[in-house]
Each structure stands twice: as structure tokens, then as C-alpha cells.
């Protein structure tokens, strides 16, 4: 079976043998994908000239209603998405829910909040500015939907959510989208796009799908286009530095590698509520989607006197979790996405082990449940420990994109903050403490290098969203190594797909333009 591309309003099968998609548990081939021979330049032109104008003829409210219909179609096919997640990602029910249900919720969320923007065709930002003594000449800032294409280059770990969290704000903005899912797990994104296309909700040209290599896609982007990328920092650098992207100043949003941190405060002694909450959080982060989340905890900082007990508590729980074929209902941890990712994880683990001790796991030859170790792509959940985080290198630099975390001892905030900052920019850091002075010091000390900070104290208990959970109402992204991008954050996500400009002119002209606008202040509410 070869999965086709959807370009210029038609399904187009790529030439050649294509790229193989496999079951990471059995190693069996599932499908093939190819973009060879597809006219990507014509597809982008079709999206700009056909899809974009048709979307922009609609108001924000009308496009929000359109998102609501897409959400209904996707929800109706939820069971099939779970089936494909099992086959192509080796996902447990919990893994599939995190991706698929997260995607459905995000689409529904933007359908709901988008209706508040009303019947306008662009956004008026801020108050008008008088520029003359008599007030007849003034200025007004506006935000207008970009008249290009939003190109999504997505990561392998979230084929459903990665598609929806980008598509929802772009389509709500009135910008056509071109989806390029990561090749290893493209089947799920392909199925979702196919379902949307078959439902006939979007105007022709509003959505495109490229399966397989991106080939020369970036060569054909223009000044009015947008790239939204999720993946490795190395690939992100190639996207950013592409000659055409640089020459045309194409807008680029990047979400890349992230050495995320969780911090147990000095008051988090063993058997306390906060100690137990963080143990559960680390366990969840290491095992959900086999640690293949961009927000997963990679470093756990704990007071030196607490480190050993914390490691023992996490290890005790890991020892009872079965790793293997997710078709077995007793299995809680599935495989990584393929053999190449398994090899990458094991290579990174060797680097970490060169400067850390192994607290739990670390056996490259372990036997997963109901699976052939030679054919499958499992990585044993592994907990490491570092007693000298200040002297360590790999702990702060190597992201093992699998079920691996490292405990790091700290003696005071004076050494904790520099170590957390060694991540060089992360998506999220969480702090578990009742000490308000400690919380304040850490947030002020590392907040500038993180897109999201999560603080948990006893007043919150277990009523927090979770370290690794990205909620559409809050910012997702991070500076530095994490890519410097920003996604979601409610209606703020629409800013990526709009262009700001100012009109200087007669106040009556400005007033007339303003009547066709929604209030941009809603984006910042």
C-alpha cells in the first residue's frame, strides 16, 4: 500500500519505491510513502491562488464553525486513529489518547474561542493614534491574514496533535495549510487529512499533504508564506539557513530539542506529598509514549540528601511496569518509533552513562513482553544519577528521546539555577515546593530560558495539568535550544499567521477600515 499526496485539490501517488513505514513491535511493513514526481511548486501556487482567497472570503466566526465541523469528523473516526497509532507508533491506549484526544480537544478549543472574533476579515490592534493638530489625520495598526501558505513540517511523535495544533490557528486565521508529516509515522496524519478532505468541509486548496521527502518544497516558498517546524535542532538549523528561506525572509517558527527539568524543593523530604507527586510525575513522563515527548522530563533535580530516596522510589514503581507489545493489556510502556530511533537512544544513553551511575534499567539486551527483541524497537526505561551536575557535560547537552531521565543532586539554589540554565533553553521546567521564596528565586533565575514554568505546592495537590501536558490556552515553545518559537497560547497563536501593518491617513478612512475588523485585543485576553 502506497499513501498518496494531496496536492492542488487532487490525490497524487508519488513515484518510485518510496519510504517504508513499519510496525515498531513486529518490524513488519505497513505502507510506503513517496513525494517523488509530485509538483510541489504548483501545489503551493494552487493553495495561494485558490485556497487562500476562498478562506479569506469567510469571517473569523465562519472559519471557527468550519473548525467545529472538522472536529466532529475527526471525533467520529477516533477509534480508527487509535488503531493506526497502535500499528504505526506502537502506542498503548494511554499513548494514543495523549496524541489523538489532545488533537481533538485542540481543534474543538479553537472552534470555540474563534467564534469570539466575530464577522471581521482582519484585526484592529490598539487605539488609533492622532497625527495632526486638528485630528483629521491619524494612524491605526491592523493585523491581516498572510496571503501565503502555512507549511507544517511535523515530528514523528505526535502525528495527530502536531497536525491539529498547527492547523487550527492557521485555518482560523484564513491561511491555507500544507502538511508535511514525519515519514516514519505519516499514516495517522494521512488518514486524518483524508477524512477532512472527504468530508468536503474546506474549500479546494485550503489543505495540502506531502508524504515522503520534502524535496525542494522550501525552494518554492515566498515572502508571504510561513514555516512551522517541529523536530530536531539539526534539521531546524537547515530549515532556517535554507537559501530561499533566508533570501525571502520567510517567517519561521521552530520547536526543537529540549532538556526539560523537574525540581524538588528543599522541603520535599521523602514521604511528603510533594515528594510523592513528583515521583508519580517522573514515572509518567518516562513511560508515556516511551518518553518520546518534546516536553518530557530529562533532568530531575533533588536536594543531595533526598536524591537516593527519590531514585529508589521511582525505581520501585518502574520495576512493576511491563514493557512490551501494547496489544498485551498488561503492558504499560511501548516501543520507540523505529530501529533508527532505538539506536539513537542507546548511543545517547552510553554518553550519559559515561558520567552517571545507573539507578534502574540500562540493559540494551532486555527482553520486552510478547515481542522479538531483534525485530522490535524497545528501549528499557532507564533512570540515571549524577552527584556532580556542575561538572557534567552530557547530562545538560544530550537529549535521549526515549524513556530515560537523570537525577541530579543540588546543595542550594546557588548551584541549582546554573545547572538548570545549562539546558540552554527549554520548553518547560516544573518546581515542586511549598517554599514560596524558593519558588520565586527559581522562577526568576531560569524563567527567561523557558517557555513554560509549572509550580506545584500542597494547595494544588494533584489538581495540576502535568509537566508534559501542553494545553492550547497556554504558550508552547521555548527559547534557545528549544527553537525560539511560540505556539498556541489561546488566540495569540493567530499572530504567527497574520501580518501587522499601520495605516496613516484621514481618520474617516481609518474608521471605514476599522468597521471590517475584529478586535485584536481578544488575542491578548
For strand 137-145 and strand 150-153, is the pairing parallel, antiparallel, or unpaired? unpaired
Residue 255's Cα: distance from chain center in Å? Answer: 7
DSSP state of 457: -
Residues with Cβ within 8 Å of residue 177, at least 6 apart in sequence: 47, 149, 150, 151, 152, 166, 167, 170, 171, 206, 207, 208
| Choice among 211, 294, 345, 356 that is catalytic | 294
Task: Examine the residue annotation and report whether 330 is marked as an active-site residue of this protein.
Answer: no
CA 85 from chain centre, in angstroms, equals 17
Give the CA distances from residue 403 to residues 215, 256, 285, 342, in Å, rounded to whole numbers and listed in that order: 32, 18, 8, 11
For residues 279 and 281, what is the distance between their CA atoms, to the nearest angstrom? Answer: 5
From 125, 165, 178, 255, active-site residue:
255
Backbone angles phi, psi at 460, to 5 degrees: -85, -40
- Strands 29-33 and 2-3, bridge-based pairing: parallel
For residue 431, the cross-strand partners are 263, 455
Q: Is residue 255 annotated as part of the catalytic site, yes or no? A: yes
* Contacts of the segment 398-401: beta carbons below 8 A, 24+ positions apart: 398/348, 398/351, 398/352, 399/257, 399/258, 399/259, 399/298, 399/348, 400/291, 400/298, 400/345, 400/348, 400/349, 400/352, 401/157, 401/291, 401/292, 401/336, 401/341, 401/344, 401/345, 401/348
Q: Which residues are catalytic?
A: 255, 294
Amino acid at each position: 500500500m502506497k499513501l498518496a499526496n494531496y496536492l492542488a485539490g487532487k490525490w497524487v501517488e508519488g513515484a518510485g519505491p518510496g519510504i517504508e513505514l513499519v510496525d515498531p513491535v513486529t518490524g513488519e511493513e505497513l505502507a510506503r510513502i513517496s513525494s517523488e514526481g509530485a509538483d510541489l511548486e504548483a501545489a503551493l501556487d494552487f493553495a495561494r491562488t485558490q485556497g487562500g482567497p476562498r478562506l479569506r472570503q469567510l469571517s473569523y466566526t465562519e472559519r471557527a464553525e468550519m473548525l467545529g465541523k472538522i472536529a466532529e469528523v475527526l471525533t467520529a473516526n477516533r477509534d480508527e486513529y487509535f488503531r493506526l497509532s497502535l500499528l504505526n507508533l506502537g502506542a498503548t491506549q494511554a499513548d494514543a489518547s495523549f496524541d489523538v484526544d489532545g488533537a481533538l480537544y485542540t481543534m474543538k478549543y479553537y472552534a470555540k474561542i474563534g467564534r469570539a472574533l466575530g464577522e471581521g476579515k482582519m484585526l484592529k490592534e490598539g487605539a488609533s493614534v492622532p497625527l495632526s493638530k486638528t485630528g483629521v489625520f491619524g494612524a491605526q495598526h491592523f493585523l491581516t491574514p498572510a496571503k501565503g501558505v502555512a507549511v507544517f513540517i511535523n515530528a514523528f511523535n505526535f502525528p495527530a496533535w502536531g497536525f491539529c495544533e498547527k492547523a487550527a490557528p492557521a485555518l482560523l486565521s484564513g491561511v491555507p495549510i500544507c502538511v508535511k508529516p514525519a515519514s516514519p509515522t505519516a499514516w495517522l496524519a494521512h488518514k486524518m487529512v483524508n477524512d477532512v478532505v472527504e468530508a468536503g468541509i474546506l474549500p479546494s486548496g485550503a489543505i495540502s499533504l506531502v508524504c515522503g521527502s520534502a524535496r525542494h518544497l522550501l525552494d518554492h516558498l515566498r515572502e508571504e508564506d510561513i514555516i512551522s517546524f517541529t523536530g530536531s535542532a539539526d534539521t531546524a538549523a537547515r530549515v532556517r539557513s535554507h537559501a530561499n528561506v533566508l533570501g525571502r525572509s520567510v517567517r519561521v517558527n521552530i520547536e526543537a530539542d529540549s532538556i526539560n527539568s523537574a525540581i524538588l524543593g528543599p522541603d520535599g523530604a521523602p514521604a511528603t506529598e510533594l515528594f510523592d507527586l513528583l515521583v508519580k510525575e517522573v514515572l509518567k513522563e518516562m513511560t508515556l509514549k516511551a518518553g518520546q515527548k518534546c516536553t518530557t522530563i530529562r533532568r530531575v533535580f533533588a536536594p543531595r540528601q533526598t536524591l537516593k530516596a527519590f531514585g529508589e522510589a521511582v525505581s520501585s514503581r518502574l520495576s512493576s511496569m511491563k514493557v512490551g507489545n501494547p496489544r498485551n493489556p498488561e503492558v504499560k510502556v511501548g516501543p520507540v518509533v523505529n530501529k533508527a530511533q532505538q539506536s539513537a537512544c542507546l548511543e545517547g544513553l552510553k554518553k550519559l552513562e559515561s558520567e552517571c551511575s545507573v539507578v534502574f534499567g540500562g540493559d540494551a539486551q532486555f527482553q520486552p513482553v510478547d515481542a522479538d527483541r531483534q525485530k522490535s524497537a524497545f528501549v528499557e526505561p532507564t533512570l540515571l544519577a549524577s552527584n556532580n551536575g556542575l561538572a557534567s557535560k552530557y547530562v545538560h547537552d544530550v537529549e535521549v528521546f526515549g524513556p530515560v531521565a537523570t537525577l541530579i543532586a543540588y546543595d542550594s539554589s546557588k548551584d541549582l539555577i546554573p545547572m538548570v540554565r545549562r539546558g540552554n533553553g527549554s520548553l518547560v521546567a516544573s518546581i515542586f515546593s511549598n517554599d514560596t521564596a524558593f519558588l520565586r528565586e527559581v522562577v526568576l533565575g531560569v524563567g527567561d530560558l523557558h517557555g513554560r514554568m509549572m509550580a506545584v505546592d500542597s494547595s494544588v495537590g494533584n489538581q495540576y495539568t502535568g509537566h508534559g501536558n501542553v494545553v492550547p490556552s497556554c504558550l508552547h515553545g521555548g527559547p534557545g535550544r528549544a527553537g525560539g518559537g511560540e505556539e498556541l497560547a489561546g488566540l495569540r497563536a493567530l499572530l504567527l499567521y497574520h501580518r501587522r501593518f499601520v495605516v496613516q491617513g484621514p481618520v474617516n478612512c481609518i474608521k471605514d477600515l476599522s468597521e471590517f475588523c475584529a478586535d485584536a485585543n481578544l488575542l491578548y485576553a
